[in-house]
Amino acid sequence: MPVIRILPHPEYCPQGAEIEAPSGTSLCEAMLEHDVEIEHACEMSCACTTCHVVVREGFASLGEMDESEEDLLDRAWGLEPTSRLSCRAILSDKDVTIEIPKYSINHAKEKH
């Protein structure tokens, strides 16, 4: 199973993390299943940018980006050439390293 290395994030993953997930799983699903509570305001329907991540290693191994993801990413805070929406970035059989940006477009979040 591929490993997702998550770089430290002050709110979601202060120590960083390494999680395993089956190929075919989205980065967002894998993080949520392993208690990394990344924002996903649209419930993973590719309608917002709150689950934006920057892929630091393994970008080319993720599934292809579709037009709707490309269009939405233009609105993401801290956009980089290796940015992806974690709800649409599908694991292959390669490890990846990701960084969750410090901010999202959703400045006022609801607390559960």
**In terms of CATH architecture, what is 3-99?**
Roll (3.10)
For the CA atoms of the chain, what is the radius of gyration? 13
* Residue 6 identity: I
Q: From CA 105, how far away is CA 87, in angstroms rounded?
A: 16
Q: Which two tokens stand for residue 3?
A: 């490993």
pLDDT in tens, 27-67: 999 999 999 999 998 999 999 999 999 999 999 999 999 99
pTM above 0.75, yes or no: yes
Sole residue written with tokens 């993401």: 76
